[in-house]
Amino acid sequence: MQKKINLPLRDEDIESLKAGDRVLLSGIVYTARDAAHKRMVEQEKDGTPLPVELDGQVLYYTGPTPAKPGEVIGSAGPTTSGRMDLYTPALLEKGLKGMIGKGYRSEEVITSMLQHKAVYFGAVGGAAALIARSIKKAEVVAYEDLGTEAIRKLTIEDFPVFVINDIHGGDIYKDGVAKYKQ
Amino acid sequence: MNEITYETIVEEVKAMCMESNYNLGEDVYSAFKQALQTERSETGKEVLTQLIDNADIAKAERVPMCQDTGTAVFMVEVGQDCHIVGGRLVDAINEGVEKGYGEGYLRNSMVYNPMNRKNTGNNTPAIVHIDLLEGEELTLHMTAKGGGAENMSALKMLKPSDGMEGVKDYILSIVKEAGPNACPPLVVGIGIGGNFERCAFLAKKSLFRPLGVRHEDPAVAELELELMEQINRLGIGPQGMGGSTTALDVKVELESCHIAALPVAVNLNCHASRHQTIKLK
DSSP B205-263: HHTTSPTTPPPSSHHHHHHHHHHHHHHHTS---GGGSS-S-SEEEEEEEEE---TT-EE
> Is the Cβ–Cβ distance between B181 and A103 less than 8 Å?
yes
Strand, helix or coil at B44?
A: helix
Buried b (16+ CB within 10 A) or exposed e, B57-90: bbbeeebbbbbbbbbbbbbbbbbeebebeeeebe
Q: Which helix (H) or strand (E) covers residue A158, if one does?
A: strand A151-165
> A94 with A57: CB under 8 angstroms?
no
Q: Tell me how far apart the alpha carbons of residues A81 and A164 are, in angstroms, rounded to a whole number.
A: 12
Q: Mean pLDDT across the stretch A138-148? A: 96
pTM above 0.90, yes or no: yes
- Tell me, yes or no, whether A159 lies in a domain: yes
Question: Helix (H, G, I), strand (E, B), or coil: what is residue A122?
Answer: strand
How far apart, in whole angstroms, are the C-alpha atoms of residue B119 and residue B66?
A: 19
Backbone CA torsion sign across A83, A89, A91, A92? positive
Instruction: Flag if A22 and B119 touch (Cβ within 8 Å).
Output: no
Closest approach of chain A CAs to the CA of B210, in angstroms?
A: 19
Using pLDDT thresholds of 50, 70 and 90, give the confidence band for residue A2: confident
- No. of helices (H) and no. of strands (E), chain B: 8, 10
Cα angle, residue B12 at apex, residues B6 and B15 outer, rounded to 5°: 140
d(CA A133, CA A130): 6
Phi-psi region of B105 (alpha: psi -120 to 50; beta: other; left: phi over 0): left
Give the chain B residue nearest A130 (alpha carbons): B54
Is residue A116 annotated as part of the catalytic site, yes or no? no
Domain that holds residue A59: 2-12+28-180
Domain extents in chain B? 2-21+65-145, 148-273
Question: Does the distance separating the beta carbons of B43 and A128 come in below 8 Å?
Answer: no
Residue A142 included in any domain: yes
Please choose, from the candidates B269, B252, B236, B110, the residue with its C-alpha nearest in 3D space to the C-alpha of residue B194. Answer: B252
CA gap B245, B229 in Å, rounded: 10
Cis previous bond, A69, omega within 30? no
Given the residues A25, A30, A37, A97, select the one marked as catalytic: A37
Does a structural domain hold residue A18? no
Q: Is B165 helix (H, G, I), strand (E, B) or coil?
A: helix
What's the pLDDT at B2? 85
Residue in B41, B46, B147 closest to A176 by CB: B41
Check if the beta carbon of residue B11 is closer than 8 Å to that of residue B96.
yes
Looking at the structure of chain A, the number of domains it has is 1
Q: Is residue A23 part of a domain?
A: no
Q: Report if residue A6 sits inside a domain.
A: yes
Q: What is the pLDDT of residue A142?
A: 97
Chain B hits for A148, Cβ within 8 Å: 107-109
Q: Let me know: does A66 contact A75? Beta carbons within 8 Å.
A: no
Q: Which residues of A touch B63 (CB under 8 A)?
A: 65, 68, 74-75, 129, 132
Distance of CA B258 to CAs A115, B160, B192, B255, Å? Answer: 53, 10, 12, 10
Whether A87 shows a pLDDT value over 80: the answer reads yes
Q: What is the pLDDT of residue A1?
A: 65
Amino acid at B7: E
Taking CB atoms and an 8 Å cutoff, what residues of chain B touch A178?
A: 235, 242
**What CATH number is given to the structural domain containing A176?**
3.20.130.10
CB contact under 8 A, B237 and A180: yes
Provide the residue-wise pLDDT of chain B in tens; the chain has 281 residues.
Answer: 789 999 999 999 999 999 999 999 999 999 999 999 999 999 999 999 999 999 999 999 999 999 999 999 999 999 999 999 999 999 999 999 999 999 999 999 999 999 999 999 999 999 999 999 999 999 999 999 999 999 999 999 999 999 999 999 999 999 999 999 999 999 999 999 999 999 999 999 999 999 999 999 999 999 999 999 999 999 999 999 999 999 999 999 999 999 999 999 999 999 999 999 999 98
Pairs of residues, one from chain A and one from chain B, whose beta carbons lie less than 8 Å apart? 157
**C-alpha distance from A162 to closest chain B C-alpha (Å):** 9
- ipTM score for this prediction: 0.96
